[in-house]
Chains A and B, each alone.
Chain A
């Protein structure tokens, strides 16, 4: 298995532009998570999906952020408009929910820089 795939790996954009991050979870996994990682705030859960349905989006910082999971093999995280404070590493993870004990498998992340 190729593992969790994220694209792009690096993104540099200017303030005000729309940014779309993509994630392909491991085949057969039914949960997907988006995290943001910064030096100041560490790892923050933004949103997670189960069976393609958003279960908890309480970590999404504001309306500029949105996430979708149109099918079991694809998810996007969109920032519109982007701001310099959105600069971070965005990690996607997937897992298979099983009796409450689950391991999350992470992608390599997208390093976003907003100028």
Chain B
């Protein structure tokens, strides 16, 4: 019943490199959000992009949204070891306020 599928499932990079994670979804959305989850912790909201927006920036994060392709990407620039976590995309549909989460990307940033 997951709305989003993330790609890749796992990503390992060197500190300082950029990390790109992709999310594809099946139905129309009102907005798409990205969350981070550190091991053993709850999810932390990173950024929200609305369906009428194409790109959004927040610090080292850049999110794009292509509603025609039903896809979004999250770019983390100049990665740090502290960015090691799982990253989830999540969307809301129609008039519902439910968040439907993707399966997540596990990011490992090697020092």
Contact = CB atoms under 8 A, between A and B. Distances in A.
Contacts of B100: 45
Interface in B34-57: 35, 40-45, 48, 50
A9 to B, nearest CB: 9
A28 interface: no
B104 A101 contact: no
B1 interface: yes
A91 B42 contact: yes
B98 interface: yes
A48 B96 CA distance: 11
Interface residues of A, number: 25
Contacts of A31: 97
Nearest to B50: A101
Q: How large is the interface on B (under 10, 10 to 19, 20 to 34, 35 or more residues)?
A: 20 to 34
Contacts of A111: 40
A27 interface: no
Interface in A39-65: 42-45, 48, 50, 56
Interface of A: 4, 31, 33, 42-45, 48, 50, 56, 91, 93, 95, 97, 100-109, 111
Interface of B: 1-2, 30-31, 33, 35, 40-45, 48, 50, 88, 92, 95-104
Per CB-CB distance, the 6 closest pairs between chain A and chain B, nearest first, are A106-B42, A43-B101, A106-B43, A103-B45, A108-B42, A42-B103
Given A93-B42, A104-B45, 12 more contacts: A31-B97, A33-B99, A45-B100, A50-B97, A56-B98, A93-B43, A95-B97, A100-B95, A105-B45, A106-B43, A108-B41, A109-B41
